[in-house]
Amino acid sequence: MKLNTLVRPLVLVAATAGAAAFAQTAAPAAPAAPAAPATQKAVIDRALLSVFKALPARFEDPKNPITPEKVELGRMLYFENRLSKNHDVSCNSCHDLNKYGVDNKPFSPGHKKQLGGRNSPTVYNAGGHILQFWDGRAPNLEEQAKGPILNPVEMAMPNEARVIETLKSIPGYVTAFQKAFPGEADAVTYNNLGLAIGAFERQLVTPSRFDKYLGGEETALNDAEKMGLKKFLEQGCQTCHNGAAIGGSLQKLGLVLPYQSKDQGRFDLTKNEADRMIFRVPTLRNVTKTAPYFHDGSVKDLQTAVKLMAQHQFGKQISDEDTKHIVTFLGALTGDLPKSYIAKPKLPASGPTTPKPDPT
Ligand code: HEC
Ligand code: HEC
């Protein structure tokens, strides 16, 4: 086991692995190692697990204390089609809470079925990300939530004023905002909308057997999953996929072998050369449920995604057998959906002045 590669800082991996890696990928793939029986016991050095964190019950942020009233409002807004121009798109259209927070499409249809240029990431456990969006352009969930409503290919509302006018025309929302933001003279604001949705999302967490295992429950993972975890650690996947979300920081895609994409990630936002191909590392929680993969939604199955990661990030071909082991481990990251928390609430009735759907 090459433990030294695990603790080697990323910069070193990048600097030293390059040439060798290209040579390796050019050579024919090494024959797969003889199949290890799934029952073979893997011994995990628990010290290596300290890069991960068990999921908290909720991702707290002192800037937006979670209250039941905010969560209740945030849940309504999350399912609210009237926050879109034609009253036919909500957050839940693209981030279906019953489908692990995704729609399983490469790109998601928004207003007039227009498609965006990036795959919809899951909203589950997104509170554990350091930044939001594939390029990290929103600092937190509260700011993120203000984006899609005004995005012309997503919910396509013309401006914040129109959103507020709509919400104020629905008496049930005026009451709900007042309850969620008590003491505010004008509680129905665009900022408060972001705070309410953020508070709701901060509890979209899906604890899994892996969390029990991290907590010391040795039998929470079976032998095949432990073998997969061992392979995952040996490869060094945890240098980027770590923390409570098992992802969530900004890293380069194509560290060793360049990844072909028109989308240059954070560079497109900052025009800073150092940000070229920097993307927010996706969470690996529930990853067996969130296909297709990558920012471009181009990869349909998890085996291929794992193999591509090894090639592009490490310049390595990993055997089919090891890939299978890793995918088995990734399956143990699937948690239970919080069924009652995500049940669609009854939405308040429109008032006489509520704007009508606009299909244009
Ligand atoms: C038309 C589809 C669509 C709709 C509607 C939509 N989103 Fe998204 N969402 C996306 C896509 C695509 C991205 C990634 C965009 C990017 O990174 O540039 C995204 C990113 C996110 C992220 C960041 C997750 C991460 O891992 O970085 C969160 C959180 C999120 N959306 C929540 C919401 C909320 C809340 C709403 C409703 C206010 C909403 N979305 C509406 C498609 C949609
Ligand atoms: C140098 C950092 C880094 C390393 C090391 C790394 N990854 Fe990733 N991983 C990323 C980034 C960045 C992405 C997002 C790629 C994109 O933008 O399309 C990603 C995406 C993925 C995805 C797709 C998830 C999704 O929802 O689209 C999977 C699966 C994955 N990685 C698994 C692994 C495995 C398994 C390993 C070890 C063999 C690994 N990664 C090593 C940074 C890394």
Task: Give residue-wise pLDDT tens across range 159-216.
Answer: 999 999 999 999 999 999 999 999 999 999 999 999 999 999 999 999 999 999 999 9
Residues 300/292, Cβ–Cβ less than 8 Å: yes
Statement: residue 348 has pLDDT above 50: yes
* Residue 242 neighbours by CB under 8 Å, 6+ apart: 51, 52
Ligand 2 close to Cβ of residue 242 (< 6 A): no
Question: Is 142 assigned a catalytic role?
Answer: no
Domain interval for residue 321:
3-57+207-331
171 and 72: one domain? yes
270 and 290: one domain? yes
76 and 166: one domain? yes
Statement: residue 18 has pLDDT above 70: no
Ligand 2 close to Cβ of residue 235 (< 6 A): yes
Give the per-residue pLDDT at 40. Answer: 72
Q: Give CA–CA dist 293/301, Å, rounded.
A: 8
Give the per-residue pLDDT at 263. Answer: 96
Q: Does 343 map to a domain? A: no
Q: Does 318 map to a domain? A: yes
Residue 25: CATH number of its domain: 1.10.760.10
Task: Give residue-wise pLDDT tens across range 278-307.
Answer: 999 999 999 999 999 999 999 999 999 999
Of 137, 169, 201, which residue is a domain's last? 201
Which atom of ligand 1 is least distant from the CA of 103?
Answer: 2
Domain count, the chain: 2
Q: Does 296 map to a domain? A: yes
Q: Does 149 map to a domain? A: yes
Statement: residue 105 has pLDDT above 80: yes
Q: Does 353 map to a domain? A: no
101 and 171: one domain? yes
Distance 121 CA to ligand 1 centre (A): 7
Q: What distance, in Å, lies between the first and last C-alpha atoms of the chain? A: 60
Q: Which of 69, 80, 143, 154 is catalytic?
A: 154
Which residue lies with its CA nearest to atom 32 of ligand 2?
Answer: 306
Distance 281 CA to ligand 2 centre (A): 6
- pTM, 2 dp: 0.91
Q: Does 63 map to a domain? A: no
Give the per-residue pLDDT at 41. Answer: 85
Grouping H, G, I as helix, E, B as strand and the rest as coil, residue 299 is strand
Q: Give CA–CA dist 285/210, Å, rounded.
A: 10
Task: Give residue-wise pLDDT tens across range 302-344.
Answer: 999 999 999 999 999 999 999 999 999 999 999 999 999 999 9
Of 201, 222, 238, which residue is a domain's last? 201
Distance 47 CA to ligand 2 centre (A): 22
Give the per-residue pLDDT at 2. Answer: 39
The chain-wide mean pLDDT, for the chain, equals 91
**CA 43 to the chain's CA centroid:** 30
Of 155, 177, 201, which residue is a domain's last? 201
